[in-house]
């Protein structure tokens, strides 16, 4: 059995996560731009915390990928599932992995053999910003092999076990120093990022919610206070853990991000449910989110080269942030006007406006309830 109607809350989650990913990278780029001492120490610290608090964005994408599988393919994955994902997700990933290897070679003066090594590293280890694709393909395989078995496990047991595994896995890499072996730091870094145990709770959460989406959405207003407070409390823990030096790595692979990202998922689902008809910008961002994800690092670099050092820090940050998003959408749109443009920019999602009547007519679980 499949369920084909679009989930309006997912458009909202995907667009916010997309904006968050670009913001994290734009702030990181902006710190390299800020060399004249324009920012005070407090301003830099505030930006670091903003960047840290948007680290929920990549986990949201992992959550969405499994929620959609669990919701849409309750009887099993369709026959051409992997063919489509390889064509429209993996091929663009491979293309961008090679393009980023070319950029690294040109900027660092690598030899051809070093370029090949860099390309292989990008492809198999995700040593560029496209690593997320390797993560979701692991979960595609997990869902394919274990999707039916998961139906026999209670949601509470599944979430409890996966949370414990995920927390233990991330805590190990957060609190244990790399072993003194060749390439120890490199191995440590990538083991904390790529293998599925570092993301397994988001997969399980997506599966549980996607399997019974309407029921979960109807229950959210009953937990309104908790849903609104938990992001603040868990986000505060993340900031304090960073401030006092317990976990200082600035990434989504922090043990304390696990609870915070989960809280943000429920918060965004709740807010998305309040919006009866999604604004067109939200739909546009959702539709082109994969293209934005792949292309925005290129435009961050290009805009930086174009503007030089001719503007204030915050103007630079605003231009790189919004410029990289808009240029990524435009480029993805134009590339997909050609036959094989999807190989570089991915394929935009189907235009959701033709389903808008479904969104509007779907029962609103928040009606006649105190919001």
Query: Over the stretch 322-347, which tens digit does the pLDDT of each residue have?
Result: 999 999 999 999 999 999 999 999 99
| Cβ partners under 8 Å of residue 139, min gap 6 | 62, 65, 66, 196, 199, 203
69-73, 94-98, 304-308: range with lowest mean pLDDT? 304-308
Which residues sit opposite 73 in a β-bridge? 2
Q: Give the H/E segment covering residue 123.
A: helix 112-125
Name the pLDDT band for 306 (thresholds 50, 70, 90).
confident
Q: Name the token pair of 219.
A: 């229950």
Res 75: pLDDT: 79
- Say what the pTM is: 0.92
Q: Quick check: 51 and 24 in contact, CB under 8 A? A: yes
35-49, 109-123, 262-276: range with lowest mean pLDDT? 35-49
Which residues sit opposite 192 in a β-bridge? none
Which residues sit opposite 2 in a β-bridge? 73
- Please list the helix, strand and coil fractions of the chain in percent, rounded to the nearest 5, in that order: 75, 0, 25
Name the pLDDT band for 144 (thresholds 50, 70, 90).
very high
């Amino acid at each position: 059995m499949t369920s084909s109607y679009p989930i309006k809350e997912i458009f909202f989650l995907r667009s916010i996560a997309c904006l968050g990913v670009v913001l994290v990278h734009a702030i990181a780029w902006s710190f390299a731009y800020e060399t004249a001492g324009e920012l005070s120490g407090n301003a830099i610290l505030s930006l670091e915390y903003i960047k840290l608090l948007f680290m929920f964005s990549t986990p949201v994408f992992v959550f969405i990928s499994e929620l959609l599988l669990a919701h849409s393919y309750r009887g099993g994955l369709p026959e051409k599932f992997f063919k489509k994902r390889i064509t429209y997700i993996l091929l663009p990933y491979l293309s961008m992995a090679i393009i980023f290897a070319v950029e690294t070679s040109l900027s660092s003066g690598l030899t051809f053999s070093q370029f090949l090594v860099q390309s292989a590293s990008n492809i198999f280890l995700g040593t560029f910003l496209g690593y997320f694709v390797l993560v979701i393909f692991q979960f595609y395989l997990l869902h394919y092999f274990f999707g039916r078995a998961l139906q026999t496990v209670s949601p509470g047991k599944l979430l409890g076990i996966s949370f414990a595994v995920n927390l233990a896995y991330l805590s190990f890499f957060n609190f244990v120093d790399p072993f003194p072996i060749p390439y120890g730091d490199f191995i440590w870094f990538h083991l904390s990022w790529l293998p599925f145990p570092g993301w397994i709770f988001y997969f399980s959460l997506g599966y549980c919610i996607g399997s019974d989406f309407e029921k979960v959405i109807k229950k959210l207003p009953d937990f309104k206070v908790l849903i609104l407070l938990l992001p603040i409390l868990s986000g505060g823990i993340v900031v304090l853990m960073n401030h006092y030096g317990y976990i200082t790595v600035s990434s989504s692979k922090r043990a304390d991000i696990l609870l915070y990202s989960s809280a943000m998922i429920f918060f965004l689902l709740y807010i998305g449910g309040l919006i009866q008809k999604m604004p067109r910008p939200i739909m546009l961002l959702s539709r082109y989110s994969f293209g934005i994800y792949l292309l925005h690092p290129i435009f961050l670099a290009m805009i930086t080269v174009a503007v030089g050092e001719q503007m204030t820090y915050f103007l630079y940050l605003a231009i790189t942030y919004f410029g990289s998003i808009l240029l990524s959408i435009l480029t993805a749109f134009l590339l997909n006007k050609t036959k094989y443009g999807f190989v570089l920019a991915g394929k935009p999602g189907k235009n959701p406006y033709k389903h808008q009547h479904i969104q509007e007519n779907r029962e609103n679980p928040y009606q006649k309830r105190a919001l």
